[in-house]
Amino acid sequence: MAKFLTFLLFIQLASLPMHSYGEEYRVSRRWQDCEQVTKVALDKLVDILRKNDFEQLETVLNTIQSVCGENEFTQRLRILRALVEKKTTGDIIADYLAKNYQEILVMRWDYSVEEKYVEIYQNNKADFDFVPLRHPIDPLIKKKALALLNSPSYNLTEQEEKIALLFADDIDAFYELHGGISPSVVPSEDKPIAGSPDKYRHGVSIYAGAEIPLTGSNPVFKTSPTLGVLFSSRLSNPFLFEAGLKVRINTSHDREVEYRLYDDVEIIRSTASLGIGGTVGYKIFDNDKFIIAPKAGLFWELATTGLSEVNESYYDDGYDYYETQNVRYFYINTMRSTLALSVMRHLSGKTYVGLEAAYHHVPYNWDSNLLTSVQPNYGSLQLFFRF
- Domain spans, the chain: 32-178, 202-386
pLDDT of residue 95: 94
Fold for the domain defined by 202-386: Porin (2.40.160)
Q: Are 96 and 105 in contact (CB under 8 A)?
A: no
Q: Which of 57-71, 193-207, 370-384 has the highest mean pLDDT?
A: 370-384
- Please write the tens of the pLDDT for every residue from 163-175: 999 999 999 888 8
Report CA torsion sign: 24, 358, 253, 304: negative
Radius of gyration of the CA atoms of the chain, in A: 31
Alpha carbons 41 and 58: distance in angstroms, whole number: 11
Alpha carbons 183 and 90: distance in angstroms, whole number: 25
- Please write the tens of the pLDDT for every residue from 97-129: 999 999 999 999 999 998 889 988 988 888 899
- Please write the tens of the pLDDT for every residue from 1-11: 445 444 444 44
pTM of the model: 0.55
Minimal CA–CA distance to 221: which of 256, 245, 265? 256
